[in-house]
Amino acid sequence: MSDSNNQKLDSEPSNKKIKIDHENDNGVNDNQLELKDFELEKILNNNTVRKTVCVQGKFKDKSGVALIVLEKNAFTEEVLDNEGYFSVDTELKTFFQNDIYGNYECFPRPSLNGVKTSIIYPATEKHIAKFSQQESHIVLETPQLYEKLTLPHINKEQFNLQWVYNILEGKSEQDRVIYDNKCERDGFVLLPDLKWDGVTKETLYLLAIVRRRGIKSLRDLDESTLPLLKRIRDEGKKKIYEKYKVPASQLRVYLHYQPSFYHLHVHFTYLRHEAPGIYAEKSHLLDTVIDNIEMIGDYYKKATLPFTIREMDNIFNIYETNGHVQRIKPNIENIELIDK
C-alpha cells in the first residue's frame, strides 16, 4: 500500500472550495475550475447501485459544456477503528430500534466523507452520449462487419487521443505514473485509472498504456504483439505487487472490446472490486488473449467478437441502418395509462 494511506485520519480539509486543475491539449494548466461556479443543467445518469451520478452543466463565465461525475468512495479497512468510523466524533441518527435490531444513519467526521470527483471540460457530444443512461444492445461483430462498419466509424469518429500522447511523451500526469518502460516497440506506461483514487486498495484500478502507436484494439493483436502483451502482464503484475502488495492471483487483467479509446491499453483491477466493464460482453482476460494468439496467430482478425452499443452512440445508427440492431420503442399504451 502507498505511503499516502498512512496519512493522519484527523486531518480536515483546509479549504472548503474544491479546485480542479484544468489542462489544455498541451498538458499545461491554464486555469482552475471551482465547483461553486458550476451551474447544473441536466442529470445524465444516476446509478444507485454503484453510487455514482453524472451531471451536465456549465461553469460561470466559461463557454462549453461540462460534465461532472461524482462517486461515493469505498470503505477502507484502515479507517474501521476507534480513530475512524467508530471515533467519538461519529454521530448516529436513529431511524428505528426494535428489540435487538436498530437502523441508523451514521455521520462520521468530514475527512472520511470525500466524494471522488471527475470533470470533463469542455465535453463533446460523444462524452455526453458516453455518460448518459440509455438502452444497450449486444452486437456479434464478424471480421466482415468490423471491416465494413466498425473500422470506418473508428477512423472517422474516435475520441481525440492527445491526452494519451501527453502521458506517453512525459507532458502530463507524470506524478501519477508508477512504472514506465520506455521501449518504443514493447514498452508501456502504468498509472492509476481516473476511476481510482490511487490509494484505496479495495478499488485498485490501473491502466497500462502501450507506447507503440497504431494498435487500436483487440482486432489489431497477432503473434507480433505477443512480446508486448507478455511484458505488460508480467511487469505490470510485478510492479503492482511491489507498490500495493496485491499478488498476481488477486489481479483481474483484461482488455475491453470495444474500448473507450482506440489506443491499446490493458486494465488491472483488484479481484474483489466489481469495476465497470468486467462482464463477459466487454472484458477479455489478457491471459486468454495471449493463449488464443499462441494457438492461432491471427485469431482476433478471424474471430466473431461481441460488444455492446448504446442507442445514443453514432455506431448504433450505423448498425441499425444495416439491419443488425433495432431501437427499443417506448410502450405507448403504458405511457398513456401513466398520463391518465
Active site residues: 265
What is the DSSP track for 218-267?
A: GGG--GGGHHHHHHHHHHHHHHHHHHH---GGGEEEEEESS-SSSS-EEE
- Whole-number CA gyration radius for the chain: 23
Counts of helices then strands in the chain (DSSP H, E): 9, 16
Tell how strand 91-98 and strand 251-256 pair up: unpaired
Residue of 297, 299, 315 whose CA lies nearest to 307: 315
Distance from C-alpha of 29 to C-alpha of 171, rounded to nearest angstrom: 11
Residue of 161, 168, 119 whose CA lies nearest to 21: 119
Distance from C-alpha of 32 to C-alpha of 20, rounded to nearest angstrom: 6
Residue 4 burial (CB count, 10 A): 9
Q: Listing from the earlier edge strand, what are the strands of the sheet with 65-72?
A: 38-47, 52-59, 65-72, 115-123
3-state class (DSSP) for residue 202 = helix
Residue of 219, 215, 216 whose CA lies nearest to 141: 219
| The 3-state secondary structure of 132-200, one letter per residue | CCCCEEEEEECHHHHHHHHHHHHHHHCCCCHHHHHHHCCCCCHHHCCEEECCCCCCEEEEECCCCCCCC
Query: How far apart are the two ends of the chain, measured CA to CA in Å?
Result: 57
